[in-house]
Structure 1
Amino acid sequence: MTESDGKPHQGSAGSDGEPVYADRVYRSIPGVISGVLLLAVAGWLIADAALNGTGKTPYVSLAAVPVFAFPVIAYTLRPAVRVNDRRLVVRNPLRTITAPWASVDALRAGYSVELLAGGNKYQVWAVPVSLRQRKRANRIQQRGGPEQHASRLGAAFGRPTPSVVEGAPDPNRAWSDQVVAILQDTADRNAGNPAAAGPVVVRWCWWIIAPTLLGLAALIVAIAV
């Protein structure tokens, strides 16, 4: 599934008179939901320990907040892929990779989605590969596709057909494979665009790393004292 509907939405005109489109954003909705649930449960437990705990318990529970919250945010809510006609931005848990299309060598989906750009390989956390979903999509394709079997498989047996990503060349494939196909097609289409040239830029996400390390130090002190 995607955060947006997969369509580039038109905005105001740019400096060259051409319309400016918002980035297309792809991310794992189940990952976001699991992150929200984890934060909600942890918040309830920590609040209960801080308000009702005795001795060192309130201090230890409060010190544990950044140690737990920031990694959960990093690995569930933060990952996303942003795409426009100039560049691909991969937001991983601890790093953000900005790759102009001219620097992208390939995107591939095996057991995980990988971006090959600037002579390096990067994992794409926002597009997890589900082997089960891929096998189910292959079975549906062999049986004639979801158009012919949606009612029989979906309504009668409750088996969902693959999620369709807007703009995917083959909507019968697994969600991750559809997204990779779109990204690869976009890379091929914009590789010769002068506006899509430039080096790959990698930035560390210090607003995740620094509070987590500080919280870990505070947690150790709270437990030891």
Structure 2
Amino acid sequence: MRSSNQERSGGTGTADGGQPGYADRVYRSAAGVIGGVLLLVVAGWLGGDAVVRGSGRTPWLAAAALLLVVPLVVAFTVRPAVYAGAERIRIRNPFRTVTLPWSAVDQVRSSYSTELFAADRKFQLWAIPVSIRARKRAVRQTNRARAAGDEPYGTQGLRRRPNRPSHPALGGSGGDTVLSWADQAVAELRELAGQHPATDDQPPAAPRVRWSYEVIVPAAVGAVALLVLLATGG
């Protein structure tokens, strides 16, 4: 199973003035979503059982722990996503959502994590985790195919098919270089940013940042309640 995936939606959002806002590309970690759902199931099972069948202070402790844990699990596993549109990019991280036009993007890079630079600010792209293992696997597949004189996708005996750039400008070498999913996503984001360079007569707009209070507030309430219950326990 691939650790990440790229979704393509049929509809688009709208920006100011009725222009297309967010296009069809949505990047998110499939492994993160699946892991988060499993954690939520386990937490709900154990915590719910403690709330229903517990005695004394146990139900209150379990309820406070669930109020703390559930928002954090959702924030770090299910919530992260990157929406790449025709005019702008929206980065949904665990505790905040950042929206900025492509003209404001200076660089997108991927080393041990995926990062976007705009002016003097750096934003992590939680939805596009870097897998060194997947990167090495893509290099091995490319090298084997080139040694055999075949196309990378013609290589036999491989259960996974990493992505490859559709154009040499995206990092390909004549269209025969296989990329891991994260590197392919970064290449596509770089291409979109390169199509909208900043101009001197119109400085790039500042990023819009919205904090995810729907995650922060319940987690903070749960943490305070849990600390109070533990501090006052006999």
Q: What interval of TM-score do these two structures reach, taking the shorter chain for normalisation? A: 0.7 to 0.9
- 2:89 partner SS: strand
Aligned partners of 2:59, 2:185: CA distance in 1, in Å? 45
- Structure 1 residue runs of 5 or longer lacking an equivalent are 155-159
Separation in 2, partners of 1:59, 1:13: 44
Give the structure 2 partner of residue 143 of structure 1: 144
Amino acid at match of 2:208: V
- Find the counterpart in structure 2 of residue 210 from structure 1: 217
Q: Deviations over 1:29-88 (max 9, x none)?
A: 110000000000100000111111122111100111121001101000110000111111
| Matches for 1:19-168 after TM superposition, within 5 Å | 22-144=23-145, 145-149=151-155, 151-154=156-159, 160-162=160-162, 164=163
Q: Please, which runs of 5 or more residues in structure 2 have no aligned partner?
A: 146-150
8 Å contact 2:164–2:179 — kept in the other structure? no
- Tell me the matched-pair count: 216
Task: Report the RMSD for the aligned CA atoms in angstroms.
Answer: 2.9
Structure 1, 50-59 or 74-83: larger mean CA deviation: 50-59
1:64/1:216 contact within 8 Å kept: yes
Instruction: Provide the rounded CA distance (Å) in 2 between the counterparts of 1:140 and 1:46.
Output: 45
One-letter code aligned to 2:158: L
2:5 and 2:75 mapped to 1: Cα distance? 18
1:223 aligned to 2:213?
no
Cα separation, 2, equivalents of 1:222 and 1:200:
40
Contact 1:118 1:200 in 2 (8 A): no
2:135 partner amino acid: R
Displacement, 1:224? 2.9
Q: Percent identity?
A: 41
Please tell me the residue identity of whatever aligns with 1:79: P
The equivalent of 2:197 in structure 1 is 191
Which has the bigger relative contact order, CA under 8 A and spacing at least 6?
Answer: 1
Per-residue deviation, residues 79-136 of structure 1 (Å, max 9, x unmatched) = 0000111111111111111121111000000000010012111111000000000000
Give how far 1:172 is off: 1.4
Asked whether the equivalents of residues 165 and 178 of structure 2 are also in contact (C-alpha less than 8 Å), the reply is: no
Contact 2:22 2:87 in 1 (8 A): no
Aligned partner of residue 115 in structure 1, secondary structure? strand
**CA contact 1:85–1:190 (8 Å) conserved in 2:** no
One-letter amino acid matched to 1:55: G
**Is 1:4–1:25's contact at 8 Å kept on the other side of the alignment?**
yes
SS where residue 158 of structure 2 aligns?
Answer: helix
Corresponding residue of 1:4? 7
Change (3 A) 1:18 1:73: closer
- TM-score under structure 1 normalisation? 0.85
